[in-house]
């Protein structure tokens, strides 16, 4: 349950994300979100008048996380493959949780699906500024997807990030 010191809007959004991750979209009713957030249904509706507004809040959180992560990527002095793979393990941050929650609804919700596609394109563009091989960019993105998905399921990633980076480097002698 979110902390009572957290602003109500953030508690509601945190509750929505938690319900999506833990129980799925059907369980994330407005009543369940309000109860989980510790607010009245009126309090929830003040911030999010309907389910579409909750989805929009989730997507806004995802977009902010992507922008912050890409800014950190651009500012990092290390190799782009190293940064991207190293940060692909789900550490249950608000950004990681926003990714997982958005993925949970993306098959049925066009706005969520578009947000995931936009996130992938943003990362493709960021990697393209550093890497000139489109096939290598695809490999990095797909490996990242697998690492994030497996670590999201509490499964251990079979190889360490450094082992994966070394393996990817073998695919691209120029890097």
> Domain with 31 in it: what CATH number?
1.10.10.60
Q: Can you give the residue range of the structural domain that contains 9?
A: 1-49
Q: Indicate whether 107 and 38 sit together in one domain.
A: no
Based on the structure, what is the number of domains in the chain? 2
Q: Indicate whether 104 and 44 sit together in one domain.
A: no
Give the Cα separation of 72 and 147 in Å (integer): 19
Instruction: Give the distance, in angstroms, between the CA of residue 40 and the centroid of all CA atoms in the same chain.
Output: 28
Q: List, in sequence order, every beta strand (DSSP E) within 1-56.
A: none
Residue 67 lies in a domain: yes
Give the Cα separation of 163 and 166 in Å (integer): 5
Q: Indicate whether 102 and 159 sit together in one domain.
A: yes
Q: For each of the chain's 175 residues, which pLDDT tens digit applies?
A: 555 667 999 999 999 999 999 999 999 999 999 999 999 999 999 999 999 999 999 999 999 999 999 999 988 787 888 888 888 988 899 999 999 999 999 999 999 999 999 999 999 999 999 888 999 999 999 999 988 888 887 666 656 777 888 888 787 766 5
Give the Cα separation of 108 and 77 in Å (integer): 39
Question: pTM, whole model, 2 decimals?
Answer: 0.88
Q: Indicate whether 45 and 68 sit together in one domain.
A: no
Give the Cα separation of 117 and 101 in Å (integer): 14
Per-residue model confidence (pLDDT) at position 173: 60
């Amino acid at each position: 349950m979110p902390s009572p010191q957290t602003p109500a809007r953030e508690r509601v959004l945190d509750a929505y994300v938690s319900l999506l991750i833990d129980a799925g979209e059907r369980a994330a009713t407005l009543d369940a979100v309000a109860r989980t957030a510790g607010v009245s249904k009126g309090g929830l509706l003040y911030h999010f008048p309907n389910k579409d507004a909750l989805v929009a809040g989730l997507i806004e959180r995802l977009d902010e996380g992507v922008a912050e992560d890409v800014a950190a990527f651009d500012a990092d002095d290390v190799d782009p493959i190293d940064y991207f793979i190293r940060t692909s393990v789900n550490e249950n941050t608000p950004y990681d949780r926003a990714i997982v929650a958005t993925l949970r609804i993306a098959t049925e919700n066009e706005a969520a699906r578009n947000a995931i596609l936009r996130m992938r394109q943003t990362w493709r563009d960021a990697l393209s500024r550093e890497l000139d091989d489109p096939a290598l960019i695809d490999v990095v993105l797909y490996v990242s997807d697998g690492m994030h998905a497996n670590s999201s399921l509490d499964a251990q990633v079979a190889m360490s990030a450094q082992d994966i980076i070394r393996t990817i480097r073998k695919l691209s002698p120029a890097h």
